[in-house]
Amino acid sequence: MRKRPVTSQEVAALAGVSQSAVSRCFSPNASIAPKTREKVLAAAKQLGYRPNAIARSLITRTSRTIAVVMSQLDNPFYAQMLEYASRRFQQHGYHLLLFMSSDEQESASVMAEILQSQADGILMLSATLSSSFAGECVARSIPVVMINRTVAFEGVSQVASDNYHGGYWVGEFLIERGCERIAFIAGLAESSTSSQRRQGFLDALAAHGRACWAEARGDYQFATAQAVTRELFTADVYPDAVFAANDHMAIAVIDTLKAEMDLRVPEDVAVVGFDNIPVAAWPSYQLTTVQQPIEAMVDEATSLLLAQIASGHVAGEHKVLPVTPIVRASVRR
């Protein structure tokens, strides 16, 4: 026979407190006296009481969940961001519901599921938000914050790093290091991060009277970046430098050059990435890159989302955070 669940009334009776005190004890950020909390927790432990999150959500009309939408997990940058976001929201008593969305058709069905989940807010990580879904969220007063993506839609908050000036620094840096044939490997075609990094990079080259020697698209994927690296380096004259729009692709470039092309980095080819994922600092790569302030980006996004949930007012705010060049040994001195 299944044991009947212990109720909050029973905990309150044993602890000698009101039922509202029990509720406050298990509600994140609720005010309760330390002695009262101690009595409630002792009674709950003795009785084996577990708060019913579903019942609480019906009473408070809040699910204490955040829907997180991602397009990929193989890139360590987004795995880092997801871990940090989970910790930050847990500190505020929220839990994450993870949804994967890789293309526009899949995105439509995923967004329908998110709306059915009754999540209090939506956090977009490495995922593109369609204007139609953005409009629906704003109309329903569902807070949405995008990290590392930007869209031209009023009412959607966005937190990004300074991708343009990061790309500009890469262009100037490679020219200063004497590189002549500089190639660029882009991310996804619709990605704002890739286009902004590319534009900054091209503007830096143009400011020195130079142009990009070759361009290819790696779609932010390791295997695709490997394939386009093979194409770029099959000609008799190949690039003497490669700027990849993220570290994940830059690592693929280095592996391919060393393992398949018998080329040295940086003696034969300089390689620069963007993000500064942990692998970039490994001795076998020592990748020169542009560091995104991952923790600051998540902190800003968390604050924006929680503030809008608390106020019930959806208002789009845009935050652009500075990047930091990280010079290592993948570019010759």
Residues 167 and 283 in one domain: yes
Residues 109 and 253 in one domain: no
The pLDDT-based confidence of 331 (bands split at 50, 70, 90) is very high
Q: How many domains does the chain have?
A: 3
Residue 129: its pLDDT value, please? 62
Token pair for 191: 């990605």
pTM: 0.79
Taking CA atoms, 5 is separated from 11, 21, 37, 38, 326, in Å, by: 11, 19, 21, 21, 56
DSSP per-residue letters across 129-142: PPHHHHHHHHHTT-
- Say which CATH number the domain at 26 has: 1.10.260.40
Tally the residues of the chain. Answer: 333
Whether the predicted pLDDT of 166 surpasses 90: yes
* Distance separating alpha carbons of residues 144 and 309, to the nearest angstrom: 10
Q: Is the Cβ–Cβ distance between 270 and 177 less than 8 Å?
A: yes
Residues 287 and 306 in one domain: no
Whether the predicted pLDDT of 60 surpasses 60: no
Residue 53 backbone dihedrals phi, psi, to 5 degrees? -65, -35
Asked if residue 181 belongs to a domain, the reply is yes
Residues 186 and 257 in one domain: yes
* Distance separating alpha carbons of residues 46 and 39, to the nearest angstrom: 11
Asked if residue 186 belongs to a domain, the reply is yes
Question: Which range, 84-93, 121-130, 135-144, 286-295, is most confident?
Answer: 286-295
| Domain, as residue range, for 95 | 63-161+294-322
Whether the predicted pLDDT of 14 surpasses 60: yes
Residue 258: its pLDDT value, please? 96
Alpha helices in 122-275 (DSSP H): 131-139, 163-176, 192-207, 222-232, 247-259
Residue 314: its pLDDT value, please? 76
Asked if residue 207 belongs to a domain, the reply is yes
Residues 188 and 178 in one domain: yes
Taking CA atoms, 306 is separated from 85, 88, 126, 127, 237, in Å, by: 12, 11, 20, 20, 53
Which of 270 and 35 is assigned the larger pLDDT?
Answer: 270
Residues 298 and 156 in one domain: yes
Token pair for 26: 């298990």
Q: Are strands 324-326 and 289-291 parallel, antiparallel or unpaired?
A: antiparallel
* Distance separating alpha carbons of residues 94 and 86, to the nearest angstrom: 8
